[in-house]
Structure 1
Amino acid sequence: MTSFADLLQKDRAGVDTLIARLPKAELHLHIEGSLEPEMMFAKAKKHGITLPYADVEALRAAYNFGNLQEFLDLYYAGADVLRDQDDFYDLTWAYLQRAKADGVVHTEIFFDPQTHTARGIDPEVFVEGIVQALHDGEAELGITWRLIPNFLRHLTEQDAIDTLAELEPYMDNFHGFGLDSSEVGHPPSKFARVFAEIRSRGLPVVAHAGEEGPPEYIVEALDILHVARIDHGIRSINDPALVSRLARAQMPLTVCPLSNVKLCAVSSMQAHPIKKLMDAGVLVTINSDDPAYFGGYVGENYRATAKALDLTAEDLKKLAANSIRASWLHEVQKARHLAVIDGL
């Protein structure tokens, strides 16, 4: 079987072309985390906001995170430049253009409503801006989509319940709900009631679990929140019984390799457990998380993972196929994309 190293030696451009050509679904993307420094400065100037950085390069230099919380502090501060509907449209449209270049055919985007309502931004502003860009992206770029509001787990469950009520007029735009932000000390069980309410409406739920938190958080997400996917889930590698359970259930993990390294959840790309999870039969996918902060969009995550772990061409095709299977696309759409992957 041809390894990535062999392919690299023969034709690096050919490997990059394969990765770009593979139809992919991106299932773990925080739209606020695609705010590039150049756009952050442009929006700050537009709204008369003074950023605590001299220029774009000084801001990029601050992207040296020791842990998840250090990233979140900068992430929430950066989001403050997003103030009107055009800002959210521009942010989403810029991501979609990069996704198109990376061969993304379907995206399931997270956004954090509480990050914006806490600043006095009406939900209509960010929902309408994001959704309009997604509609335009489907019409002009051919990228289908789903939209997933996330609750901030460092806040209370009552805050999440109140946010759900604020979002009520816009529920037709949403395809499920998720849970993100600071993981340690905020187990999934903290949000049992609000997730039960969402499921009672027939909407699927997902949750970040097992990035910095222990494998037990993954178990809670499965058994208490009854999630359709686990976002991250890499700590499962420390619990062989859990890995077997995930494999048997074909429970998708939306893994974000470059993010995991940048946030020190793993020591290096070479130490990343994604290949071990694949070999154990777990349905893992590759995603970019917060690409403006973590050094790469989904294509770069594929390339970096392939190089570090010596993935084969078949591994790459399997990862792309996993992303389609784990998506919330209709079965007919899935079959069409899977046929293209099989033919490459």
Structure 2
Amino acid sequence: MAWLGAGVVVLLLLGLVSVAFGTRAVSLEDIVAALGGDAQGTAQAAVAKRIPRTVLAMIIGAALALSGTAMQAVTRNPLAEPGIMGVSGGASLAVVIGIAGFGLANPYSTMGVAVLGSAAVAVFVYTVGSLGRGGATPLKLTLAGAATGAACVSLVSAVLLPRVDIVRDFQFWQIGGVGGASWDRIATVAPVLLLGALVCLIVARGMNSLALGDELATGLGERVVRTRLLAGLGAVVLCGAATAAAGPIGFVGLVVPHACRLLVGPDHRWLLPASAIAGAALLTAADVLGRIVARPEEIDVGIITAVLGAPVFIWIVRRQRVRAL
């Protein structure tokens, strides 16, 4: 409870920092005026645009962290994460095909296609990783996910190559970012992310049983297949919707669960809420950092998370030796 409370306080402080700092600094009076609905001045208008951006960064960060935590529980793989497992790559490919090939413009259709793409790649990676002796080992799942993700990136480039009219927009989207956020965009993605989060939280106790191994979990009365399917469904929905809204943002689902395990332990009834708070804080902080390090330009949040997450990825590989959780 203490760590959760501290996380909420840090998240609120980061939210204030995100509203106050950026390519243009604003005063406390401007922030109060913008919160009151006044967007007449330049500073107030800047604050009014930063508020939905901050909210979107928080919900996307929470969604990616929850998705990564659920994937690690389902696969018992310490390296499981939407980007590394290729799931976000599948969502990106599905979105690009839907827009470039079928002219999808409705945000709900785009989100639905992204979720289907995530689900298809998740099933494919788990199937490939389960082949051969030993079943779905962490090493085989990681290799299958990395190869599938690379293939999806190449296919995205192949689909976009003849469509020069939409290449520029997709280039920025592929990096991953929360710029251009609006309340309409948040209202579209928030219910879907909430549904995925609820599914994961409902099966939190079952995720604890999965950590003991399938045989022991079954002996304790846990319905392993149902728990794995529900947890995987929640992870796929969270990843697909978040990718459709903000592009493929990597490493949040890898870094956050491991950090939170050090603080609150492996019990998913505590780990999932802690990961959601920490993921929201991490992506908000990365967005603020991207706005201030290269003023007056911005660095997309997907680049910041990659720079922060790559060393953690290397540390986990060296520490865990790609063993199961």
Whether TM-score is above 0.5 comes out as no
Which has the larger share of strand? 1
Using structure 1 for the length normalisation, give the TM-score: 0.28
Which has the larger share of helix? 2
Using structure 2 for the length normalisation, give the TM-score: 0.29
Determine which structure has greater relative contact order: mean sequence separation of CA pairs < 8 Å that are 6+ residues apart, divided by chain length: 2
